[in-house]
A and B are shown apart, each in its own frame.
Chain A
Amino acid sequence: MKYFILILMLPLLAFSQEKTGAQIINKVNDLMNQESSEVTMTMTIITSSGQERTFEYLSYSVNFGEKNLIIYQAPSRVKGQKMLMLNQADDIWAYFPRTQRVRKLATHAKKQKFEGSDFSNEDLGSGDSFTTDYNAQLIDEENKAGYDCYVVELTRNPRADISYSRLIVWVRKSDYVPLIIDYYDDKNPDRLLKTLSQSNIQIIDGVPTAMRMIMHNHSDNTSTTVEIKKVKYNVPLDDELFTERGLKK
């Protein structure tokens, strides 16, 4: 009888060992949203006249990605310009050193493109959007870019106000780093809009971190590359930094 019960429970045991889409995405979410961070990075964009322009900036993030501050370092023309993104990039403030003014630029702006790049504000400062705005389902397991990955489909919650109808995420099994994310059109779930590829993964302060991100826009056939030069996690940051007054400092 004891053996019989054990045999009956075997499938359940096997099931409990298999990860669900939600569990995987929760892990990804935890990894992507550290309590706070300080990052030096470069971003290269293509201007409307087709020229390449590279910016270097310092990015501070607190409260698990809910507040972000970007301070431009180069080129010299925009050095000192700051962008403060609150409420997961929905409200944006800017500080202009040339006029020494702080202005609120936008609300409900998370769907907008981030400064001429192929990233939207939502892509950059999404916080826990993966877990709150989408339903996750593990659809496959496959080898991607030489690594064993979970393939998780995130389908938009009916009430979520986000730009994509669904995402397909390839999550590296070994450390839960999302290597590839496919973003699908808001209105047409079959139309692939963008693909984010993350590479050069290094362990920084115990956190596996992609030092290189390429967002490819399939509609425009353009790409934006972000290179992380330096990163620190869980650093103490003054709350005032993320205020209108802090912007002027």
Chain B
Amino acid sequence: MREVLLIRLARLHAEHPWKMFLIVIILTVLLAFAASQLSVTMRWSDLLPSDDPRTIQFNKIIQEFKTSTSLTIVVQGEEKRIKKFADELAPNIVNAVNARKNAEIETDVTKLQEKIKKRRSRGKDTSDLERQIRELQGGKDRKLFQRVDYKLNMDFLRNHAMMLIKKQDLENLKDIFYSPNLTELLTNYNNAFEKEYIGRQESISSREKEDGAVKTLDGIENFIAFLQKIADRQQVSEKDVEQTVDFLLFGDPYFLSYDQQGLVLNAIPNFSLTDIDLVVAAVEAVEVLLTDMADDFPDVQAGMTGFLAISRDEMIYSEQSLGTTSLIAVIAILILLIISFRMWFAPLLAIFTLMIGVLWAVGVTALIVGQLNIMTQMMMVILFGLGIDFAIHLIASFSERRAAGGSIADAMQYTFTKSGKGVLTGALTTAVAFLTLLVSHSRGMKEMGLVTGFGLLSILLATFLLLPPLLVFKERMWAWLRTKLKASPQKSRDISFRSLGALSNWLCNHYGFTLFAALLVTCAMAWLSSKMTFDYNYLNIEPKGLTSITLQDTVLNKFDLSMDYALITAETPEESRRLAQGCKDFSSVAMVDDISNYLPSPAQQQERRPLIVEIKNEMQNASIQSRLPRGGFEQFRNELQRLQFNIMEMQDMAFIGGQDKVDNKCQTIVGDPEDVNSMNKIADLLRTLEEYETVADIFDKFQRDFAPRFKASVVRMCHAEPITLSDLPEDILDQFSNNKRDQFLITIFPAGNIWQDARFLNQFTDDIERVTDRATGMPPVFRALIQVIGRDGRTAMLFTIVIVFILLWIDFGKPGYALLAMTPLAIGVIWMVGLMYLTRQQFTVMNVMGLPMILGIGIDDGVHIMHRWISEDRKNILTVFSSTGKAILLTSLTTMLAFGSLIFSIWRGFGHLGAALFVGVAACFLATLVVLPGAIGLLNRNTNKSN
């Protein structure tokens, strides 16, 4: 049946090549249109099963919470300059529009205006076109971002800051707010410092405590600088006073790094991450702004990271990178074919056929899947490597027969009967092996199976339909040229690899040695395979050299904050508070950001209220002294000295406690204890004060400028009325809530680098998932991905083995032959993993997929050799390996070249898969070359004995 169909197809090609060509053209046009509709997604969550709660939650969050997918701009430089840079950049980002869309609208409007002119000249109605223009223009200048977050909302804090401080902290800190007068304020600070560690339940070494200490020290540093300015009799502006008070009460409002050399701006988009065109437009718009500002701020470095920037970069650069790797693969394959076939035109036809086949594959992908994901993106390169094999086998047989003097029709029939069957079996086996990935739970693997399985079948169809007519045209053209030029007929050339045949023949004759050596190598490789490890670091599979990726490390180092956070949604602020508190209890969690930071529970507010009222009353009743009391100057200096001691002691405690941020901050105020030349700002101020007989004039200045504002600010922030959801300003609500205000977002930052150690990734994810089963974000998604893909890989491998065996049994008619054909594959897989270990590769979430794939790819070698061996009446090992051996060597080399080209990909994950498959294909070929002749030798001996 199969043979009859193939012979009919061969005849059709030989007799009606133009008709076949026409069918190909029609199919190509249709599938090219489908291919143009294909979209790409770069989200890791899209690799998980569609019904996975993490995927559902993640998609819900990116749809409902624009803040969760912001564009992060990291600015680095000197503190004042980066603040100025941010102040100038932020309004420009808010005003940024989609320039590309504007240009498109302009073009459309111009076209419509021309139409209107024409209609008017004919006296026709143009109102519909005018309406279209109005609609189009309404879509112009749409802003890409709703706002930029880079400072605290000071208005809200000025009114409600006290209500946001925990009761325990209020009790410890309340003394600070009892007096606005200089000496008393310093005394109160010192008292609070010396009381700081007393009676606390929680440790100061926790992340939040360390941050709190740094914030307080920031305020003091600024306060000392302010006093120094007054002592130096410099002009103090209203703004200086306001800033000093704000720093002391609220800390620095800018989102600054610990070393104050870095600043982060979060641009909140007006669109969702799923709208990839707008993602690209928005990132490009900000890129233009940053480039424009570079001239005015040569000392400031700025770059983009976060979901939007990474999505844009990954898409653009991976497309470029895959384009380059595809080109490398095609050129390398072409050169290899030209050298091995010792002709150039047929390889060109093979490549052309392959291109059309890949186009069909993309079209079919668009029809059945609709989009490519991170994994299936590289399907083209994989299909290049595998699809070219069909053409190689067909060209090899066709050329062989033509060289032997066969007519075109005869050569075509020979090609389809001799190679067609093998190609068909090989392709179907590989495609079915890929399609077994459909048993996977993960979308990534499932789609990979669909895309590569149907893609391979598309190329097979393209090769069977397009290559033969092209070969017929080529032969006819050559014949016509030879007649025209009166050239002599082409000489017969033997293009088989005799040396390969001779080697296999020797291995077959010395089967004992061959099989023993193969067994030894296999044992060694199996031992090496057992030492393979899994690399859980997702950053190692991300593209290298991309600013958006490297800036993630900058944020981690400078801000001590991982951008790979977990996300949870809650339906009420109460639930948000409960979940946030649950997460805070784990030491694997560094920080939790949720609405409860701005909206304490009614019970918490109730217990804070009396303390706030007390502070307010104390401050309201405190009088601003107009004169320094007797002995006040000495007392002021003593308090300054005491403050210096307190900060020094805090510094020493921080050093032995390993709290580097507090230690470093103290160092900027009281100097480095190991460097006598380092600056001690309090000591400097004390020295300046020693120059004065009296501090009265300084005191007056302070009292006049600072004290009233400090008093007013403290009274204002002691708003004792409860904060309700409706009191929160829009920007805070937007940060934590969706538009309907019925969903609330909780962001959980891990306490360390989750990628450095799988145990920490598991610990962090387990902790969060213990609080709720609705957690999503990169840590839960990636951990689930590792588990799902690992499980899928094992299941798919088992299915593939069974299905391949059944297919081969059907094909060969004997289970023994099916097993024989599969033996080199089984050994090849062991060699592959062993070689991966030897070449210092590790399993990753990307290359682990290579194991089930290699089962489908590697089986072809054994199938082709077995087919040829059977067709040679189970004899002529020399011929089998000289001819078909050459073909499988070529197909293996072309496949290796295609997979090997992925190593040059900017996406390290693609490179990992490419390297694994490169090694895998080589291992399967070598196993076929060594094990099959040995096994055949053993079979022949047994047959001879029984005869």
Whether A associates with B in a native complex is yes
Binds A, one of B270-278, B456-464, B647-655: B647-655
Within 8 A of B (CB), among A148-186: none
Chain A residues positioned under 8 Å from B658 (CB to CB): 45-48, 53, 115-116
Q: How far is the CA of A78 from the CA of B654 in the complex (A)?
A: 11
Asked if B205 and A98 make an inter-chain contact with CB atoms under 8 angstroms apart, the answer reads: no
Q: Does B759 belong to the interface (CB within 8 Å)? A: yes
Q: How far is the CA of A219 from the CA of B764 in the complex (A)?
A: 8
Binds A, one of B26-34, B191-199, B437-445: B191-199
Asked if B660 and A77 make an inter-chain contact with CB atoms under 8 angstroms apart, the answer reads: no
Q: Does B305 belong to the interface (CB within 8 Å)? A: no
Q: Does B588 belong to the interface (CB within 8 Å)? A: yes
Chain A residues positioned under 8 Å from B659 (CB to CB): 47-48, 116
Chain A residues positioned under 8 Å from B201 (CB to CB): 108, 111
Asked if A98 and B210 make an inter-chain contact with CB atoms under 8 angstroms apart, the answer reads: no
* Min CB gap B113→A, angstroms: 63
Known: A47-B659, A53-B658. A98 touches B673 (CB 8 A): yes
Chain B residues positioned under 8 Å from A108 (CB to CB): 199-201
Chain A residues positioned under 8 Å from B760 (CB to CB): 221
Asked if A103 and B194 make an inter-chain contact with CB atoms under 8 angstroms apart, the answer reads: yes
Of the candidates B560, B585, B645, B752, the one whose C-beta lies within 8 Å of that of A101 is B645
Asked if B587 and A220 make an inter-chain contact with CB atoms under 8 angstroms apart, the answer reads: yes
Asked if B759 and A99 make an inter-chain contact with CB atoms under 8 angstroms apart, the answer reads: no
- Could you say which interface size class chain A belongs to? 35 or more
The residue in B656, B657, B658 that gathers the most chain A C-beta atoms within 10 A of its C-beta is B656
Q: How far is the CA of A221 from the CA of B657 in the complex (A)?
A: 18
B673: nearest chain-A partner, CB-CB: A77
Q: Which residues of A come within 8 Å of B, CB atoms?
A: 45-49, 51, 53, 55, 72, 76-78, 81, 94, 96, 98-99, 101, 103-109, 111-113, 115-116, 187, 217-221
Chain A residues positioned under 8 Å from B495 (CB to CB): none
Of the candidates A77, A111, A112, the one whose C-beta lies within 8 Å of that of B655 is A77
Q: How far is the CA of A96 from the CA of B674 in the complex (A)?
A: 15
Chain A residues positioned under 8 Å from B661 (CB to CB): 48-49
Chain B residues positioned under 8 Å from A81 (CB to CB): 652, 656
Asked if B198 and A106 make an inter-chain contact with CB atoms under 8 angstroms apart, the answer reads: yes
Chain B residues positioned under 8 Å from A219 (CB to CB): 586-588, 763, 767
Known: A53-B658, A220-B588. A98 touches B652 (CB 8 A): yes
- Could you say which interface size class chain B belongs to? 35 or more
Contact with A along B559-591 (1 / 0, CB 8 A): 010000000000000000000000001111000
Chain A residues positioned under 8 Å from B655 (CB to CB): 77-78
* Min CB gap B584→A, angstroms: 13
Q: How far is the CA of A94 from the CA of B197 in the complex (A)?
A: 12
Of the candidates B205, B585, B586, B645, the one whose C-beta lies within 8 Å of that of A99 is B645
Q: Does B733 belong to the interface (CB within 8 Å)? A: no
Asked if A221 and B759 make an inter-chain contact with CB atoms under 8 angstroms apart, the answer reads: yes
Chain B residues positioned under 8 Å from A53 (CB to CB): 658
B651: nearest chain-A partner, CB-CB: A98
Q: How far is the CA of A46 from the CA of B200 in the complex (A)?
A: 23
A218: nearest chain-B partner, CB-CB: B763
Q: Does B237 belong to the interface (CB within 8 Å)? A: no
Asked if A77 and B674 make an inter-chain contact with CB atoms under 8 angstroms apart, the answer reads: yes
Chain B residues positioned under 8 Å from A101 (CB to CB): 645, 649
Q: How far is the CA of A116 from the CA of B648 in the complex (A)?
A: 18
* Min CB gap B94→A, angstroms: 35
* Min CB gap A235→B, angstroms: 25
Chain A residues positioned under 8 Å from B645 (CB to CB): 96, 99, 101
The residue in A46, A47, A217 that gathers the most chain B C-beta atoms within 10 A of its C-beta is A47
Q: Does B203 belong to the interface (CB within 8 Å)? A: yes
Asked if A104 and B648 make an inter-chain contact with CB atoms under 8 angstroms apart, the answer reads: no
Asked if A96 and B648 make an inter-chain contact with CB atoms under 8 angstroms apart, the answer reads: yes
Asked if A99 and B587 make an inter-chain contact with CB atoms under 8 angstroms apart, the answer reads: no
Chain B residues positioned under 8 Å from A220 (CB to CB): 587-588, 751-752
Chain B residues positioned under 8 Å from A76 (CB to CB): 674
* Min CB gap A189→B, angstroms: 15
Q: How far is the CA of A247 from the CA of B585 in the complex (A)?
A: 36
Q: Does B757 belong to the interface (CB within 8 Å)? A: yes
Contact with A along B184-217 (1 / 0, CB 8 A): 0000000000100111110101010010000000
B757: nearest chain-A partner, CB-CB: A221
Asked if B657 and A103 make an inter-chain contact with CB atoms under 8 angstroms apart, the answer reads: no
Q: How far is the CA of A51 from the CA of B655 in the complex (A)?
A: 12
Chain B residues positioned under 8 Å from A78 (CB to CB): 652, 655-656
Q: How far is the CA of A115 from the CA of B648 in the complex (A)?
A: 16
Asked if A48 and B210 make an inter-chain contact with CB atoms under 8 angstroms apart, the answer reads: yes
Q: How far is the CA of A46 from the CA of B197 in the complex (A)?
A: 22
* Min CB gap B927→A, angstroms: 41
B650: nearest chain-A partner, CB-CB: A96
Asked if A106 and B649 make an inter-chain contact with CB atoms under 8 angstroms apart, the answer reads: no
A222: nearest chain-B partner, CB-CB: B752
Q: How far is the CA of A195 from the CA of B210 in the complex (A)?
A: 26
Known: A99-B648, A217-B587, A220-B587. A107 touches B660 (CB 8 A): no
Other than A46-B658, A221-B759, give 9 A-B pairs with Cβ distance below 8 A. A48-B660, A49-B661, A94-B653, A98-B652, A112-B203, A115-B658, A220-B587, A220-B751, A220-B752
Asked if A98 and B648 make an inter-chain contact with CB atoms under 8 angstroms apart, the answer reads: yes
Asked if B660 and A105 make an inter-chain contact with CB atoms under 8 angstroms apart, the answer reads: no
Chain B residues positioned under 8 Å from A51 (CB to CB): 660
* Min CB gap A101→B, angstroms: 6
Chain B residues positioned under 8 Å from A55 (CB to CB): 656
Known: A48-B210, A53-B658, A220-B751. A106 touches B673 (CB 8 A): no
Q: How far is the CA of A112 from the CA of B197 in the complex (A)?
A: 11
Q: How far is the CA of A55 from the CA of B207 in the complex (A)?
A: 22
Q: How far is the CA of A108 from the CA of B197 in the complex (A)?
A: 10
* Min CB gap A183→B, angstroms: 13
* Min CB gap A247→B, angstroms: 13
- Jot down 19 A-B pairs with beta carbons below 8 A, ordered by A: A47-B660, A48-B205, A48-B207, A48-B658, A48-B660, A51-B660, A53-B658, A72-B656, A81-B652, A81-B656, A98-B673, A99-B645, A106-B198, A106-B200, A112-B203, A115-B656, A220-B587, A221-B759, A221-B763
* Min CB gap A81→B, angstroms: 6
Within 8 A of A (CB), among B638-694: 645, 648-649, 652-653, 655-661, 673-674
* Min CB gap A26→B, angstroms: 31
Asked if A107 and B673 make an inter-chain contact with CB atoms under 8 angstroms apart, the answer reads: no
The residue in B197, B560, B588, B751 that gathers the most chain A C-beta atoms within 10 A of its C-beta is B197
The residue in B203, B207, B658, B763 that gathers the most chain A C-beta atoms within 10 A of its C-beta is B658
B644: nearest chain-A partner, CB-CB: A99
Q: How far is the CA of A45 from the CA of B201 in the complex (A)?
A: 22
Chain B residues positioned under 8 Å from A218 (CB to CB): 763
Q: How far is the CA of A103 from the CA of B642 in the complex (A)?
A: 13
* Min CB gap B574→A, angstroms: 21
Chain B residues positioned under 8 Å from A45 (CB to CB): 658
Q: How far is the CA of A78 from the CA of B197 in the complex (A)?
A: 20
Q: How far is the CA of A49 from the CA of B257 in the complex (A)?
A: 13
Chain A residues positioned under 8 Å from B649 (CB to CB): 94, 96, 98-99, 101, 103
Q: How far is the CA of A220 from the CA of B203 in the complex (A)?
A: 15
Q: How far is the CA of A160 from the CA of B587 in the complex (A)?
A: 23
The residue in B655, B751, B759 that gathers the most chain A C-beta atoms within 10 A of its C-beta is B655
Q: How far is the CA of A112 from the CA of B206 in the complex (A)?
A: 10
